[in-house]
Structure 1
Amino acid sequence: MARHVLLKVDSTMNEAARLAPGLSGPAWIFAHEQTAARGRRGRDWRAPAGNFSATLVLRPREGLAQAALYSFVAALALEAALAHVGGPHARLSIKWPNDVLLNGGKIAGILLESLALPRGAHALAIGIGVNLAAAPPRDALEPEALPAVSLAGETGLSVEPVEFLPMLAQAFAHYDRQFQDYGFDPIRNAWLARAARLGEEITARTGHETHRGTFETIDATGALILTGPHGRRAISAADIFF
């Protein structure tokens, strides 16, 4: 799998969109520095020196119908790479739909975007940001958001971002092979084994609606299944609060 290593870029997601039409296969785009990184729903993503920023560009075999499930593949790969770095004392979990937590705080986020290619084709860009060295302060976050943490702050361990890239790429390749060979079921089972607050009460906000209930599972489409006072509800997109 190709790797493009850049000293500085506006965002690896933007660079992915620029490079995608000319790529012959999957490629990682890594940057030592981003000047205009973004997260979900256009939110700013702070990426100070020493943190990890990369985007994987690929073309899902089943097209965009399969694309959303790659957030679970990416989350498992991130959790595995961080476990390799952090060792047995790193308490990691995955928050639906696409955040990785360390000791209960957010250490990494994932952003998926569809990229239009010539002749009606599409590619998928999977943006990944990891707080290896530093985390944004509490006042930079939304009021009810989980605290942000870093690998260095929680464990005292340090790893260079460019050294983290092959760890993540190897873990992603492992879970992607499972996904391609056996479908979503093994990915779903592995994800649920690492899911934060599974079986507990959570809050899901979808636009102007708020739903509270027990996080029961995720279904075959990756939707969150919430059981509350009004029964069982499948939620395909939401912000989750504990």
Structure 2
Amino acid sequence: MRFALAPKAVADGFRLEALETIDSTNAYALAQARAGDPGKLWVVSKNQQSGRGRRGRTWHSPPGNLAATLLVVADFELKLASTLGFVAGLALADALDAVAPQAAISVGPDGGSNFAAAGSGAFSSKAAAGNRFELKWPNDVLASGAKLAGILLESTMLDKNHFAVAIGIGINVAAYPDDLPYPATSLHDLGSKCDAETLFEALSEAWAAYARLWNKGQGLAAIRNCWLERAAGIGGEVAVRVDNRVIRGIFETIDEECHFIIREPDGNVIRIAAGDVHFGAVASASAV
């Protein structure tokens, strides 16, 4: 099976470049932007060898997984670029719901949904109410409390008035690395037979829908509301590492600009623009 865009994505002017092997889909997309590509370009591969994660980390991607990057040449304010990660998370969660219905959440001994993979801590009651795939601020997709996918936004200035954003999405379809410091899973481990090509086509369709809703930032309030419906950890104990500081408290919400809002034990409310989030008491201790 070959990679293909969904009909709605084609109708909205998106293009596709599928590569057998690639170092980094993000790096390739940004290079295309600097060479004059107008954007709305998806770059995809099932064999990414030098993927990148947040804060300079490596994103391991065993063959058979999906590495997809959407190149956006921006005609909106730079400060809105980071909110595209929330659009990407929603699009991916919808795509997963569409093509991996058999990737069910495990059921605990009490008959309830089990979202607490080892070391992952407590998750929200909304999640337990039925979200199969959850969104972890700012850029992960979880299944049964384990990381299934990560999203990385990178940008480059094209001239003094224009910039490009590479929205990289890496999904553990066939396998996940076994040397990670946190719980992880793959679609195949969850019982799904979905392949990377099927998932990408669904992702391209879902992105087109959410991009119209986002509408260059004018629909950010609606995106925020949709994201909160899928959010992991709301109302639970969290620890957030910000540079060399660890902030502990209760995850209350995300604000109108999609910053993380945490209430410390003394009642102080902190607004966080970037950081690493850990759920639950056990995970909080490991964040130090």
TM-score bucket (shorter structure): over 0.9
C-alpha separation in 2, matches of 1:17 and 1:62: 17
Task: Look up the SS of the partner of 2:78 in the other structure.
Answer: helix
1:120, distance to aligned residue in structure 2 (A): 4.7
- Letter matched to residue 132 of structure 1: V
- Letter matched to residue 25 of structure 1: G
- Letter matched to residue 69 of structure 2: T
**1:124 alignment counterpart:** 165
C-alpha separation in 1, matches of 2:46 and 2:163: 27
Task: Look up the SS of the partner of 1:163 in the other structure.
Answer: helix
The alignment covers a number of residue pairs equal to 236
Q: After superposing the two structures, state which structure 1 stretch, 156-165 or 61-70, moved more.
A: 156-165
Matched, 1:191 2:227: yes
Report Cα offsets for 1:161-196 as digits up to 9, x if no partner. Answer: 122212101101111111108521110011001100
- Letter matched to residue 173 of structure 1: A
CA RMSD of aligned residues (A): 1.5
1:84, distance to aligned residue in structure 2 (A): 0.9
Task: Look up the SS of the partner of 2:51 in the other structure.
Answer: coil
**1:152 alignment counterpart:** 188
**1:97 alignment counterpart:** 138
Matched, 1:50 2:64: yes
Task: Look up the SS of the partner of 1:213 in the other structure.
Answer: strand
**8 Å contact kept, 1:151–1:157:** yes
**8 Å contact kept, 1:60–1:66:** no
- Letter matched to residue 15 of structure 2: A
1:232, distance to aligned residue in structure 2 (A): 0.6
- Letter matched to residue 34 of structure 1: Q
1:218, distance to aligned residue in structure 2 (A): 0.3
Equivalent of 1:136 in 153, 163, 177:
177
**1:237 alignment counterpart:** 274
Equivalent of 1:71 in 85, 88, 112:
85
**1:201 alignment counterpart:** 237
**8 Å contact kept, 2:73–2:162:** no
Matched, 1:213 2:244: no
Equivalent of 2:215 in 175, 180, 185:
180
1:222, distance to aligned residue in structure 2 (A): 0.8
**1:19 alignment counterpart:** 32
Identity %: 42
Equivalent of 2:196 in 161, 175, 180:
161
**8 Å contact kept, 1:63–1:122:** no
Unaligned runs of 5+ in 1: none
1:201, distance to aligned residue in structure 2 (A): 0.9
Task: Look up the SS of the partner of 2:211 in the other structure.
Answer: helix
Equivalent of 2:53 in 28, 33, 39:
39
Q: After superposing the two structures, state which structure 1 stretch, 210-219 or 32-41, moved more.
A: 32-41
1:157, distance to aligned residue in structure 2 (A): 1.4
1:119, distance to aligned residue in structure 2 (A): 5.3
C-alpha separation in 2, matches of 1:229 and 1:197: 17
C-alpha separation in 1, matches of 2:83 and 2:160: 24
C-alpha separation in 1, matches of 2:77 and 2:93: 25
C-alpha separation in 1, matches of 2:186 and 2:196: 13
C-alpha separation in 2, matches of 1:165 and 1:2: 13
| Structure showing greater relative contact order (alpha-carbon pairs closer than 8 Å, 6 or more residues apart) | 2
Report Cα offsets for 1:132-184 as digits up to 9, x if no partner. Answer: 110111xx223xx3x01001101x21222122212101101111111108521
Unaligned runs of 5+ in 2: 1-13, 106-131, 280-288
1:61, distance to aligned residue in structure 2 (A): 3.2
1:205, distance to aligned residue in structure 2 (A): 0.5
**1:10 alignment counterpart:** 23
**Greater Cα radius of gyration, structure 1 or 2:** 2
